[in-house]
Structure formats: C-alpha cells, structure tokens
Amino acid sequence: MSESSASGRKLVLSTLLETDHYESLIKDLTCTKCNKYMKPPIYLCVDGHSICGLCYEKSYQCHVCKKEFALIRSQILESLANKMMFPCTNEGCPKHANLALLEKHIAHCQYRIIKCFMARVYGECIWEGRAGEWMDHCFAEHKEKVTDLPFITVNDKWNGKRTEPVLNYFLLKCYERIFNVYQIYDKKGGRMMWTVLVNDDQAEKFYFEVDIFLPNVPSKRIVYRRPCKCEKDADFLEHTQNVFIPIENIFSMLDESESINFTVRIGEVENLPLLETPTASESLILLNSDYKEEE
C-alpha cells in the first residue's frame, strides 16, 4: 500500500469518526445506566432497552421501564461493539480504538486528570491536571526530586520517627522514558528497599544501581545492581529483584549529620560488559596495581 493511499484511508476514517451518524452509534452503544461503553455481553429487557453486563449483574429490573429482563442478548449491538472505534473518554484526547485497546489506553492516557503523586509521599502538593503535564509541573515545583539525567544523588537525614514506608520518591527522565525511583523503609522486616519502575513492557532492558557511600571515606561503600521493572507489575514491592539492605548496614553508613548519601543510576543492559570471575593471580595483580597507584 502506498503512503498516499494509507494517508487517504486515515483521512476518510478521521472524517467518518467526526460525523453525527457515528456519534449516534456511539451513543447507542453507551449504557444508559452507568454511562460507559457497552461490550459483550449486552442484555435487553422485554421492551428492548439495552444494558451492559456489569449493570445487568447488579440489577433486578430495567432501569428505564422497570420491567424484567429478557432471556436473550442483543447480537446486533454486540457485533457493532466489537467493530466500533470508540473515542477516549478523557476530554481533549483524539484517540479512537476498539474497546480492548481503549481500556489499555485510558489507564495511561496523557489527557487523564491526576493528582501530583509527590503529595502522596511528601504531603505538600495540591496540583491536579492532565497526566501529560505532570512532568512539567514536577520540574517547576519539585526540582530537588526530578532530573533529566540518568542518575540522582541524594543526601537524606535519617528520621527514626517516620511512619510512612515510602521515604523518598524521585523521577528520572532519560532514555526517552520516565523512571520512578522508590526508597522504602520496611520497619517490620528491618531493611531498606530501593526499586525502579518504568512504564514499558520491556523494562528488563534497563537496570538501576544503588550506590551508598560515605563522603571522603572511599573504603566504605555499598553498591547494588538490579533490573528495572514495569510499573504494571502489581507485585513490584514483593519482587526478589529489588535492592534490600539490612537496616544495620544503613546505620553504619550514616555520615556525621546522621544522613544517608546515595546515588541511583539508570543504564541500558545491552551496554553492560559480560564479567568473568578473575583468577587468584589476576586478583593479586589488580590488587597490587591499585596499591601502587594509591602510593
């Protein structure tokens, strides 16, 4: 298919989606009880009023005519529902898709209205707006919590009286993605946890490093490397591939102001070298080399 014919089909489809006739079909496929798009199964009452499957399960009579439901479903409406391109319900969004794809889209639509997630962690922000505008808001109002670099360095004073498990939350905008960095204190388990989530089904292509250090004391350092995970993973907090560090190890890394210093870095797995275990002689050579360099 040529580019001109493809663009022509898109223009025809775009024009069709904007017609009153198409909008009327969308209205006919919208449940008049919950006001959501109907997908199979679609039920009818004895007078022919339609209702979506979820509302049907919670109803004992038709909400329009108050009569009982029929023992049949509407094959015509179900067939149309499977073929239609429904518009996104978020105001201003131009997206049209079938119901299966639209459900996935709406959950991550850049036009959906959200509240600033920083408020859930730090309790200071009252911003509310489109998801696509949130990063601009964060760069303007939460500069110390966001960066457009693949790393962020933190100096965080330890407070044993904290009750919320999420101690810190950061955003790293890099590799054309947004990486969500969580630092969590599992008080019951006696450990500190770091995890990094990205809205990408191929999240395993990226890794993160947690580098805990004591300024001016190069001999004390803790470094962990783990794969990033997709934020759609409902069990990400329980995942064994997060960074877990016993709290006593964290205490041993507090500086003179009782602060923990750490850097979180994001990288691409494909750029990591494959490491081989050095032999005893190689280890000795490396050790002697480092020793001579320090001298």
Identify the structural domains of the chain with CATH numbers, from first to last: 17-86 (3.30.40.10), 144-270 (2.60.210.10)
- The confidence band for 7, taking pLDDT boundaries of 50, 70 and 90, is low
- Note the pLDDT of residue 90: 94
Between CA 181 and CA 166 the distance in angstroms is 10
Residue-wise pLDDT for 228-268, tens only, equals: 998 877 666 666 678 999 999 999 999 999 999 999 999 99
The answer to whether the beta carbons of residues 174 and 150 sit under 8 Å apart is yes
Peptide bond into 218 cis (omega under 30): no
CA dihedral sign, ordered 65, 71, 77, 83: positive
Q: What is the pLDDT of residue 295?
A: 45
Separation of alpha carbons 225 and 209, rounded Å: 4
Q: What is the pLDDT of residue 120?
A: 86
E-only strand ranges, 91-239: 96-97, 113-115, 128-130, 146-147, 151-157, 166-174, 177-186, 191-198, 206-213, 221-227, 229-230
Q: What is the pLDDT of residues 174-219, one digit of tens each?
A: 999 999 999 999 888 889 999 999 988 788 899 999 999 999 898 9
The pLDDT value given to residue 137: 95
The whole-number pLDDT of residue 30 equals 94
Provide mean pLDDT across the span 44-52. 93
At residue 25, the pLDDT reads 87
Report pLDDT digits (tens) over 87-119: 999 999 999 999 999 998 988 899 999 999 999
Element (H, E) at 286: helix 280-294
Phi, psi of 121 (to 5 degrees): -95, -45
> Cα Rg for the chain, rounded, in angstroms?
27
Predicted local distance difference test score (pLDDT) of residue 13: 47
- Between 36 and 3, whose confidence is greater? 36
Is residue 99 within 8 A of residue 37, CB to CB? The reply is: yes
d(CA 247, CA 185): 9
pLDDT per position as a tens digit, 57-70? 999 899 999 999 99
Q: pLDDT for 132-178, tens place per residue?
A: 999 999 999 999 999 999 999 999 998 877 778 889 999 999 999 99
